[in-house]
Amino acid sequence: MTYGVLYIDEGNFLNWYDRREDAERAVLEVAEQDPTEAAEFGYFAYDDAGEPVGEFVSGADLLARRGAAA
C-alpha cells in the first residue's frame, strides 16, 4: 500500500508515504495548524497496482477519531 496526501479540492498530491501512520501524522499536523482546512486535506490509500482502495480520509475524520478515542 501507498498513501497519497492531498488537498481534495485541488486534487494535487503533496506527498506519498509507505506507511498509513506516517500519512495520518502528516495530515493531522496540517489539520491541527489550520482546522478550517481539515475537511479538505487528507489521504487516499493505493494498492500495489496504483488503484485507490477505500475512501478519502480527511484531517477532520482523523481529528474526530482522535477525539472519540480520548
The tens digit of pLDDT for each residue in 53-64 reads 999 999 999 999
Residues spanned by the domain of 13: 2-69
* DSSP bridge pairs for 6: 13, 42
Average pLDDT over residues 16-36: 94
Domains in the chain, number: 1
Amino acid in the structure at residue 67: G
Q: Look up the pTM and report it.
A: 0.87
**% of the chain at pLDDT higher than 70:** 96
Alpha helices, DSSP H, located in the chain: 20-33, 59-69
